[in-house]
Amino acid sequence: MMRTEIALDQFYPHPPELVWRALTTPELLARWLMPPDGFEPRVGARFTMTAKPIEAVGFSGTVACEVLELVEPELLSFSWDDAAAAEPSGWVVSFALRPEGRGTRLLFTHRGFDPDSPAAQLSRTIMGNGWRRILAALGEAAATTRRPPG
């Protein structure tokens, strides 16, 4: 694994539109990630999410994000910064969806970790483990999602 990113490959036995809804509906996002404040599925939307602070890496507990890319139902990318940090981390999380059989292949990346920063590398280790659990929870949220009418 590269020291600058977390890359995970996850398969869900759900069609892409259900995984996409779980990714882009605020109420569903709250189930598998964190409750978002201000999230909209559109490029340029700024939002925050609140988690438990992590003193070991100086994380305040509030994540400030901006939607950078959105191609329905294939790609969602947003910035990921500590809202209290003096400077942005430059981190970007991306969810790329690909139909596979009757399900969906999700290619996830969280990139931008400084390979020479011990704090960034500790964050990468902690978050790498966390993202595995989070992506499993995304699958559970997608499983409870109904297809939109029409």
Q: Where are the domains of the chain?
A: 5-144
41 Cβ partners below 8 Å, 6+ apart?
Answer: 24, 67, 70, 72, 76
Among 49-53, 63-67, 91-95, where is mean pLDDT lowest? 49-53
Single pTM value for the model: 0.93
Superfamily of domain 5-144: START domain (3.30.530.20)
- pLDDT tens by residue, 104-130: 999 999 999 999 999 889 889 989 989
What pLDDT shows up at residue 147?
Answer: 63
Question: Strand ranges (DSSP E) for 2-142?
Answer: 5-12, 36-37, 46-50, 62-71, 75-79, 81-82, 92-100, 103-111
